[in-house]
A and B are shown apart, each in its own frame.
Chain A
Amino acid sequence: MELPEVKKKVKKTIAKVLEIEESEISDNANFIFDLGADSMQSMLLIAAFEEEFDIEMELEKAQEVQTINGAVEFINSYL
């Protein structure tokens, strides 16, 4: 999968989980600081990414990822 496509899917997933518009999500946005995800939503995001991309991520490392660009890069390493 090409990176732009990964990014598009990541944003779509975030918008769905956090119930926000995709247009509100900038590439450098931080899930917590900029998008207001709480700890439960952060966990839901990880689960949603796994489902969307059909991958299984290392939980501890996945929790460290907090930005859109970071998530794209991290998910891509599993594809």
Chain B
Amino acid sequence: MTKRSDLHKKNLQTLFYPKSVAVVGTNKVKGTVPGDIFTNILQADLNGIIYPVNPRETHIGSVKAYKYVIDISDPVDLAIIVFPSSVCDRALEQCGEKGIKAVIIISAGFKEIGEKGLEREEQLKAIAEKWDMSFIGPNCLGVINTDPASRLNASFARKFPAEGNIAFLSQSGALCTAVLDYAQARNIGFSKFVSFGNKADISEIDLLYYLMDDEKTKVILLYLEEISDGPGLMKAAKDVIEKSHKPVLIMKSGRTSEGASAAVSHTGSLAGSDEICDAAFRQAGIIRCDNVEEMFNIAIAFAYQPLPKSEKIAIITNAGGPGVLTTDRAIKEGLTLAEFNEETTKKFIRSLPSTANIKNPVDVIGDARADRYHAAMTGAILDENVDGLLVILTPQSMTDIEKIAEEISKIAFSSKKPIYTSFMGEADVSTGIKILQKHHIPHYSLPEAMCKPFASTLFFNKLTQQKIGDPVVFTDVDKDAALSIIEENLKAGKTYLPEYKAAKVVQAYNLPVVPNELAKSEKEAGKIADSLGYPVVMKVMSDDIVHKFDVKGVVLNVNSREEAEKTYTQIISDVNKRMTDVKIDGIHIAKQVEGGTEVILGIKRDPSFGSVVMFGLGGIFVEIFKDVSFRVAPIDKESALSMIKEIQSSEMLMGARGRMTMDIDSIADAIMRLSQLAMECPEIKELDINPLIVLKEGKGCFVADTKIII
């Protein structure tokens, strides 16, 4: 952590637990942001002293007002600035003079309005740095801490939420108020609630590190509109998960692929910002959510129930259809229906009617009352083959909904296995749902919705038990050689490195390149082909040609010296027919590797996450199916192997249906070397190794074609 991050962590403790708060720029007008913030703090019953600051008023809400913050004689821990943006710098400067270290700047009119606002925001940052202050905002809704030790509502939200163990952080203030309303209706409480707006000073990363050690927080939810420091966010999330075992759920808006369209390489065009974001989140252990509902569905599972130990679930239902729907979704999410042991089966035979289905999903039949649910649930929960229960209820005329809800709550209270519920319907089941929510039993309006939270909590539990390896740093690489090729070309104003140059860069990182040489004449072509051995591949080399196939610049299966000499002239003539004014550097001749499987590897620099490595099967798998996987560099061996296994066509490499098992370890090695190249040569914007020819197990792989954009 940097010095400033350390300072933020310290100042955030003061910000969340202030003993004295000044509201700078507040007024007496109800229904305005400056006025309501002061009222909200008073109404939340802050565990501390509050000072209104207003240049004109002698008092606000019967509390003595001060003209300037520096006029307050006692120390002030936290200042909330609600002045218009044009004078926020003066207000912040005075806060600095007063010795205030924690500030929330609610005011809008900064980066979000353009250049002038950005300038103002930069001024605020400079003032904060000068006085060792930390501030949240500007352009935010504010901060809420429900902990009775603080009870701070420094926001203009309508509600003060119930106390809970979920922290919610959001870049959007408007979403915050909607979330508060949503959560209140579901009896969901919060530990901390933060709208961080333009994150000019304190960012989501600082907040994650603060919440890592916050005893009141068990689950962290984050809504982001833009990621300014991807690697920093990944590291913070990894630290939170590893050190404090708290899940991090992120809803990231902007699932568009703009930017990818302009890319030259395969990697560039396949690695859209959202695909990279998905991969980066998965790599860091972050659970990505698509919407507010899904986020809270998963959050309540984490917040209220124990984590599942395995994917084996039991479904208990009083209706067949919903049971089947839930089973389908469970399988899709990677869960399995547990097979009950003999003892459980006997219990079910004794306690359930003969018409009941005693196999998983257990159907206790439409006329089931609380006693039948009790028998099915206790039987299943005590079975060592079961690691979680999904309980479904549909309201029939004899269903004692409230009693069943109480029964579930009692069993869940004493169970170490997670229990989720779905009482289907709305009006009839509402009191039952309230009972479940009161006892913090996760409830989902649709039964299928129970499956993703179960899968997510299981994923997280397994993740926290894994030991994450460090990326391998290869010492047999020549970083200087790679950098000098890149620099030389950059100096010459060249941004595209054709194969014969690009091959030297990857060769410097000890990636096995197929034996090759550049021929500058017909005779030289024959000589080189002879020395390499047949068959050879011949390709045109030119800084002006990116897609060699398109201009007939590639010929395969050249089998003799005479053929090589003829092909040399033929390629040059074919290319010249299709492209005028092209400068041809020569013909690249390489040994043709036979009998392998083609895969593609690539690098792309992403503006949010930095260097990203891509892997996929070559040919149509990459062109049409876009069957590829991504990881943010640096990549350890486990991650490299998981990249290979993750693609849908991975079985083609693993010896499926009588095929040869290919050399997976050599691909993983190539991925890790490429990852190191990406980290050490950040000038590389895009790189394609297409194809990397992988031979059978133990025989290695070869780079057959490379291109680099710098």
Contacts and interface: CB of A to CB of B under 8 A. Distances in A.
Interface of A: 18, 20, 30, 32-36, 38-39, 64, 66
B91 interface: yes
Contacts of A39: 84
Interface string B21-60: 0000001010010100000000000000000001111000
Nearest to A38: B27
Interface string B72-109: 00000000000110110011000000000000000000
Given A38-B27, A38-B29, A33 B83 contact: yes
- Mostly, the B contact residues are loop
A66 B55 contact: no
Contacts of A20: 56
A66 to B, nearest CB: 6
A64 B116 CA distance: 12
B144 to A, nearest CB: 25
B368 to A, nearest CB: 62
Interface of B: 27, 29, 32, 34, 54-57, 83-84, 86-87, 90-91
Contacts of A32: 83-84, 86-87
Given A36-B27, A36-B54, A36-B55, 12 more contacts: A18-B56, A30-B90, A33-B55, A33-B83, A33-B87, A35-B55, A35-B56, A36-B57, A38-B29, A39-B84, A64-B86, A66-B87
A27 B91 CA distance: 19
Contacts of B87: 30, 32-33, 66
Contacts of A66: 86-87
A46 to B, nearest CB: 14
B78 to A, nearest CB: 20
A32 B90 CA distance: 11
Contact of B90 (A33, A35, A38, A64): A33
Contacts of B57: 36
Contacts of B56: 18, 20, 35-36
A56 B131 CA distance: 43
29 contacts: A18-B56, A20-B56, A30-B87, A30-B90, A32-B83, A32-B84, A32-B86, A32-B87, A33-B55, A33-B83, A33-B87, A33-B90, A33-B91, A34-B55, A35-B55, A35-B56, A36-B27, A36-B54, A36-B55, A36-B56, A36-B57, A38-B27, A38-B29, A38-B32, A38-B34, A39-B84, A64-B86, A66-B86, A66-B87
A62 to B, nearest CB: 13
Nearest to B32: A38
Nearest to A29: B55
Contacts of A30: 87, 90
Contacts of A33: 55, 83, 87, 90-91
A53 B469 CA distance: 75
B663 to A, nearest CB: 68
Contacts of A34: 55
Contacts of B55: 33-36
A31 B86 CA distance: 11
Contacts of A64: 86
Nearest to B57: A36
Q: Most chain-A Cβ atoms within 10 A of its Cβ — which of B34, B57, B87, B91? A: B87
Nearest to B35: A38
A45 B117 CA distance: 23
A42 to B, nearest CB: 8
A38 B35 CA distance: 11
Nearest to B29: A38
Nearest to B87: A33
A18 B32 CA distance: 18
Nearest to B86: A66
A41 to B, nearest CB: 10
Q: Most chain-A Cβ atoms within 10 A of its Cβ — which of B27, B32, B57, B84? A: B84
A28 to B, nearest CB: 12
Nearest to A63: B86
Contacts of B54: 36
Contacts of B91: 33
A33 B82 CA distance: 11
A2 B344 CA distance: 100
B554 to A, nearest CB: 61
Nearest to B90: A33
